[in-house]
Amino acid sequence: MILKTSLRNFLSHKGRMALSLIAVVLSVAFVSGTLVFSNTATSTFDKLFAATASDVAVAPAPPSGDDSGQGQDTSGRTPTIPASVEQQVAAQPGVKETVPHVSATTATLVNPKTNKAVGPTTGAPTIVGAWTPGPRTPMKITSGAAPVGPGQMMIDADTAAKAKLHLGDPIRVIGERGTFDYTISGIATFTGTNPGAALAFTDLPTAQQDLLGSTKLLTGVDAYSDGSKTNDQLKAEVSAALGNAYQVKTSAEQQADNAKGVGSFLNFMKYVMLGFAGISLLVGGFLIINTFSMLVAQRTRELGLLRALGSSRRQVNRSVLTEALLLGVLGSTIGLLAGLGLALLLIQLMKGAGMTLSSSLEITSSVPIASYAVGIVITMLAAWIPARRAGRVSPMAALRDHGTPAEAGTNKVRIILGLLVTLGGAALLAVGGTSKDLGQAGSDLGLGVVLTLIGFVVLGPLLAGVAVRVLGAALPALFGPSGKLAQRNALRNPRRTGATAAALMIGLALVTGASVVTNSMVASTSEQIDKQVGADYIVTVNHGGLTAPMIDAAKGTAGISHITELRELMATLTLPDGSVVKHQAVSAVSSTFTQDFAVPVSTGSTDGLVNGGISVDQKFAKDHKLGVGDKVTVDYGSGRTQQLPVGLITSTGNTIFDNHLYATIDTVAKAVPQDQQPLDVMVFGRAASGADKAKTLTALQNSFDAYPQVSVQDQAGYKKIVQQQVDSLLTLIDGLLALAIIVAVLGVVNTLALSVVERTREIGLLRAIGLSRRQLRRMIRLESVVIAVFGALLGTGLGLAWGITAQQVLKGQGLNMLSVPVSTIVWVLIGSAVVGLLAALLPAFRAGRMNVLAAIATD
Amino acid sequence: MTTASAAVQTSDNPGGPSANAAAARQVTKAYGAGETRVTALNAVDVDIQRGRFTAIMGPSGSGKSTLMHCLAGLDTVTDGQIWIGDTEITGLKDKQLTKLRRDKIGFIFQAFNLLPTLNAIENITLPMDIAGRKPDQGWLDQVVATVGLADRLKHRPTQLSGGQQQRVAVARALAARPEIIFGDEPTGNLDSRSGAEVLTFLRRSVDELSQTIVMVTHDPVAAGYADRVLFLADGVIVDEMHAPTADSVLERMRRFDGKRTS
């Protein structure tokens, strides 16, 4: 019986359920889409790695202190092994075949015709190496031929297509050992998945000569077993034969390492998408609560009749929950299917970014389980409160004249509870913002954010009452009777107004908070640059490092007084107190460094750094009880060790010096010869006194003409680049904002549409006594705008509190400056008014079209 | 406009158009078409005289509510013409009709007359607010005093009894000084005492304020407050009675029922 009435009710309220359904569908689609996409991607890569990993691979030993197993030093020089290792491996019993490898990720591919870099800009590597096909090479030549001899090169098909390169076209490689020109002899295509990298191959001797500088070197050897031994046995024997100067990995270990590399990227995508799902779930929950509350309110009389006829509270309660269940099941089903579409869309997007994934979707049982669980649980939870209210409807309601319920007041318990939670959250934010301990401050911040959010949602109805009175005070004056009626309507059910606005609040709070943080990031970085950088020009490189010819070109530029180089070495430090710091970067700089940067001297002097010492920041010194003159042992790996006295301690609060250790290139060269040091990651230029700074900038840029991967900026330009990097982060936040707003708009539309239905008689009366259609529509639009602006105010207020607290917490971490994005906030508020107008379009149109007589006659 | 005057002048009622607050000529209202066509009003001629209290009576389904809705510009007619004052309203667009209702007509419905979000005085001045007119304070005070609501003006409708709510509705209808007030069973939901109160106010507003009122009712007692009663049956005016009393109306209705059943 219950199922039947529920089903009938559900079907008879199709229109009203539609918007809630969309909310459920959106959230579930994100959940299922994320799972399917990441499953598909993971399985694609697992297959690729499983198919390409050799049985045992030999690679150079990882740099000092690097336990990650990746073994590649991106800014440095390509690590090598002697070519003779291949023979040693091949000589092992059980090894059927060996394949020598040369590959470097430090080189840049350039199209000489356009002088532009070729290859991915998304962070995926450009790999230049030798074409040494083995049993598991994932590529085959699809046009032209394999490269032979110096001057010939083969590139992968995707890169060729993207850069519009064809057989016979010239191509250039700018590597750590110089610039080399080739002609494209062939194009190779991935047989399976293209992981997104750009690949270029020469023959083995050419690669050895051009990339490594000697035909006696390789970057790795792959070995294939004849099947007589397991990979582990083979690894053990190869390791024993070679000694521990190399890294030897089995097939399984290679796969695990590779998966780790891709996994972090996929995980990032997964969390972003689950973030979307979470937001739409949260916001959608409010939509569902509102829908069911209104449906219950409208049916008060009907429910009263059911009770009068003998239905128990539980039965009434259950009939509402059954409707929610139907909504949840339907929404989850559609959402699950929409999720598959979303996954396909993402795969297409990845293809656009250069990563080809298997187009057969990997749908494990976890996908439907998670989809239905999320969709049904959220719907049932959201419907729970209205369902309880339905159960409490008294049989007397059937006898009352009007179905319209009494206006719900805000109850005291709710206010007290809301105040307590909000104040608790605010206190935590305050404590977190002033706390010295970063970890503690972070958890205070997190909990504070959650509590203030819950508090605001609980207090929503109360705040709605206050805010709408204030916000709406101007409405009657500005818009006459429509304004007055709109204000009263927004006030009549504060709980509904509160819940509708809360949906908008959540999204806007997140966005405002995030944009305060990112804005502060830009401001802080700019301030740090102003404060600490004295150099006129900043030279950065996109790929690989800055080679000696590049530096020479820069030094020879007219108007440049000097160039300061900066390179980074990984080292293990042993300190006087006996503690050992692993995987610590030591920055090696030219001695002109102290002229180009405002060094914040705490103890010691800049001379202490220039004259063979090392500089540490105050915090490092304090943590390890270091004083000026104390000796630090620096181990750069491969037995290259030196003892350096602390010559300078820098004060904290300066991002360029905090957590950084500096020594001059000459000092480091005593342990690591110049030609073994990594390449420069950045260099700085100073204009000669009297030189025209703008002209010198152009001249310096011209000096790097042959190197499209290098970018030369003055301070203003460099700040702009920092801004751009932050902006790309903001794009992601904007995506979140868009989704949150879409769902919130659905919520406002839903509330208004249901309110219009609920107030049919009132609208009829108003029309009868002379309210014009235009005035009626304006009334509904204004109500909508009031709700939206109220939500936006709550959201930006909350977001500001979060953002400012986050900035305070991160004050010591480079976020020294607070910068509030005033224009963003103003736009958000204006935008919310527009959102309100848009949301009211349809409900206002429907209300305007109502037949006056029919509306009056409505029961 | 000339045709309007001509039409009214040819009517049986003396006095010409200026004496009529509303008039209907050959008004027909039909629903559906062909075999399922139902005629609610069949070529009805009516003149509503200014400054008088007219009641429209008739059994359920006689078309009395339809007649009122058509006269008030809430419903459209299938055929015929209707005037409010000197304005022909048949053929007016929604916008003009709305303006007409706002400026020239007052309404009292059986139930749900007031906006729950506005208090009594706000409800009373609502039509003028909508029109953007300032209420005439002296008149407003007089109306409020007449309906006896001076101490309830700040109350919301939910805080008022049914009789008080209807009195607020009467005050609203009077406050804007419309040419004509239409009441659709205004006492239908009230007990006899409250009903009598409301009807007394309507009567007084005609006598003391010279208001024109048209009221649809099925209650002979209510009709007894009117100056004139029109009897409707099957979409046609079958009789009228001047200076009625509850008893004479009841008597007439009985005869009417008897004629119908015979």
Place A38 in a pLDDT band, splitting at 50, 70 and 90: confident
Residue A406 pLDDT: 46
Place A399 in a pLDDT band, splitting at 50, 70 and 90: low
Burial A256-274 (b: 16+ CB within 10 A, else e): ebbbeebbeeeeeebeebb
Give me the residue from B94, B105, B118 closest to A488, CB to CB. B118
Instruction: For residue B89, give the nearest of B108, B107, B106, B104 by alpha carbon.
Output: B104
To the nearest whole angstrom, how far is the Cα of A654 from the nearest Cα of chain B?
A: 60
Q: Does B151 touch chain A (CB under 8 A)?
A: no
Residue B11 pLDDT: 41
Give me the residue from A489, A492, A856 closest to B109, CB to CB. A856
Taking only the tens place, the pLDDT of each residue in A300-335 is 777 777 777 777 888 888 888 888 898 899 999 999
User: How large is the average pLDDT for residues A440-468?
Assistant: 86
Residue B201 pLDDT: 86
Q: Which of A63-72, A616-625, B15-24, B25-34 has the lowest mean pLDDT?
A: A63-72
* Top-confidence residue, A572 or A1: A572
Rounded to whole angstroms, the Cα distance separating A201 from A146 reads: 9
Residue A69 pLDDT: 38
Contact of A602 with A650, CB cutoff 8 Å:
yes
Taking only the tens place, the pLDDT of each residue in B78-135 is 999 999 988 889 888 888 888 888 888 998 988 777 888 888 998 999 888 888 888 8
Q: Do A769 and B101 touch (CB under 8 A)?
A: yes
B132: left (phi over 0), alpha (psi -120 to 50) or beta: left
Q: Do A770 and B103 touch (CB under 8 A)?
A: yes
Q: Do A485 and B117 touch (CB under 8 A)?
A: yes
Whether A553 has a pLDDT exceeding 50, the answer reads yes
3-state secondary structure of B53: strand
Place B258 in a pLDDT band, splitting at 50, 70 and 90: low
Rounded to whole angstroms, the Cα distance separating A300 from A295 reads: 9
Residue A679 pLDDT: 86
Q: Do B118 and A766 touch (CB under 8 A)?
A: no
Q: Does B172 touch chain A (CB under 8 A)?
A: yes
User: How large is the average pLDDT for residues A49-54?
Assistant: 84
A710-714 vs A537-541, strand pairing mode: antiparallel
Contact of A735 with A269, CB cutoff 8 Å:
no
Q: Which residues of B touch A770 (CB under 8 A)?
A: 98-99, 101-103, 105, 127, 130-131
**Strands, sheet with B105-108, edge to edge from the N-terminal-most edge strand:** B105-108, B180-184, B213-216, B53-57, B228-233, B236-242
Q: Does B58 touch chain A (CB under 8 A)?
A: no
Rounded to whole angstroms, the Cα distance separating A857 from A761 reads: 7
User: How large is the average pLDDT for residues A10-15?
Assistant: 72
Rounded to whole angstroms, the Cα distance separating A260 from A257 reads: 5
Q: Which residues is B180 bridged to in the sheet?
A: B105
Rounded to whole angstroms, the Cα distance separating B45 from B102 reads: 25
Q: Do B109 and A765 touch (CB under 8 A)?
A: yes
Q: How far is CA A468 from CA A483, A794, B129, B156, in A?
A: 12, 12, 21, 19
Q: Which residues of A touch B131 (CB under 8 A)?
A: 770
To the nearest whole angstrom, how far is the Cα of A851 from the nearest Cα of chain B?
A: 9
Q: What is the pTM of this model?
A: 0.76
To the nearest whole angstrom, how far is the Cα of B14 from the nearest Cα of chain A?
A: 31
- Amino acid identity for residue A450 in this structure: V
Q: Which residues of A touch B126 (CB under 8 A)?
A: 481, 769
Rounded to whole angstroms, the Cα distance separating A536 from A527 reads: 15
Which residue, among B100, B115, B180, would best test binding to A if mutated, counting the most A CBs under 10 Å from its CB? B115
To the nearest whole angstrom, how far is the Cα of B69 from the nearest Cα of chain A?
A: 8
User: How large is the average pLDDT for residues B38-56?
Assistant: 91
Give me the residue from B111, B112, B126 closest to A769, CB to CB. B126
Rounded to whole angstroms, the Cα distance separating B72 from A692 reads: 86
3-state secondary structure of B213: strand
Contact of A182 with A173, CB cutoff 8 Å:
yes
Contact of A13 with A327, CB cutoff 8 Å:
no
3-state secondary structure of B72: coil
Which residue, among A400, A761, A769, A780, would best test binding to B if mutated, counting the most B CBs under 10 Å from its CB? A769
* Top-confidence residue, B171 or A243: B171
**DSSP code per residue over A61-91:** PPPTT--SS----SSSPPP-EETHHHHHHHT
**Strands, sheet with A220-225, edge to edge from the N-terminal-most edge strand:** A95-101, A220-225, A56-60, A246-250
Measured CA angle at A487 (ends A485, A488), to 5 deg: 65
Determine the residue of chain B that is closest to A760 in CA distance: B112
Q: Which residues of A touch B127 (CB under 8 A)?
A: 769-770
Instruction: For residue A87, give the nearest of A241, A300, A236, A206 by alpha carbon.
Output: A241
Give me the residue from B69, B111, B130 closest to A770, CB to CB. B130
Taking only the tens place, the pLDDT of each residue in A744-799 is 888 888 888 888 888 888 888 888 888 888 889 999 999 999 999 999 999 999 99
To the nearest whole number, what is the mean pLDDT of chain A?
A: 84
Q: Which residues of B touch A404 (CB under 8 A)?
A: 116
Residue A374 pLDDT: 86
Which residue, among B98, B122, B123, would best test binding to A if mutated, counting the most A CBs under 10 Å from its CB? B98
Q: Do A772 and B98 touch (CB under 8 A)?
A: yes
Q: Do A480 and B98 touch (CB under 8 A)?
A: no
Residue B257 pLDDT: 63
Taking only the tens place, the pLDDT of each residue in A651-695 is 887 878 888 899 999 999 988 888 788 888 889 999 888 888 889
Q: Going by C-beta distance under 8 Å and a sequence separation of 6 or more, which residues neighbour residue A92?
A: A223, A234, A237, A238, A241
Q: Going by C-beta distance under 8 Å and a sequence separation of 6 or more, which residues neighbour residue A781?
A: A486, A836, A837, A840, A844
Q: Do B117 and A491 touch (CB under 8 A)?
A: yes
Instruction: For residue A546, give the nearest of A709, A670, A669 by alpha carbon.
Output: A709
Q: What are phi and psi of B257, to 5 degrees?
A: -65, -40
Q: Do A484 and B129 touch (CB under 8 A)?
A: yes
The Cα diameter of chain B in Å comes to 57
Taking only the tens place, the pLDDT of each residue in B4-18 is 333 333 344 444 445
Alpha carbon B72 to its chain centroid, in Å, reads 8
**DSSP code per residue over A130-189:** E----TT-SEEEEEE----STTEEEEEHHHHHHHT--TT-EEEEEETTEEEEEEEEEEEE
For chains A and B, count residue pairs whose Cβ atoms are closer than 8 Å. 79
To the nearest whole angstrom, how far is the Cα of B228 from the nearest Cα of chain A?
A: 25
Residue A122 pLDDT: 64
Contact of A589 with A564, CB cutoff 8 Å:
yes
Contact of A609 with A596, CB cutoff 8 Å:
no
Q: Which residues of A touch B117 (CB under 8 A)?
A: 485, 488-489, 491-492
Residues 223-262 of B with CB under 8 A from A: none
Taking only the tens place, the pLDDT of each residue in A252-286 is 888 888 887 777 777 777 777 777 777 777 777 87
Determine the residue of chain B that is closest to A773 in CA distance: B95
Taking only the tens place, the pLDDT of each residue in A465-493 is 888 888 778 888 788 888 888 888 888 88
Contact of B105 with B68, CB cutoff 8 Å:
no
Q: Please state the length of chain A.
A: 859
User: How large is the average pLDDT for residues A210-223?
Assistant: 90
Q: Which residues of A touch B (CB under 8 A)?
A: 401-402, 404, 406-407, 480-481, 484-485, 488-489, 491-492, 761-762, 765-773, 775, 852-853, 856
Residue B182 pLDDT: 93
Instruction: For residue B41, give the nearest of B29, B59, B56, B58 by alpha carbon.
Output: B29
Determine the residue of chain B that is closest to A774 in CA distance: B95
Q: Which residues of B touch A856 (CB under 8 A)?
A: 74, 109, 112
Q: What are phi and psi of A141, to 5 degrees?
A: -75, 125
- Give me Rg for the CA atoms of chain A: 34
Residue with tokens 């607010």: B129
Rounded to whole angstroms, the Cα distance separating A446 from A460 reads: 21
Whether A401 has a pLDDT exceeding 70, the answer reads no
Which residue, among B130, B133, B161, B180, would best test binding to A if mutated, counting the most A CBs under 10 Å from its CB? B130
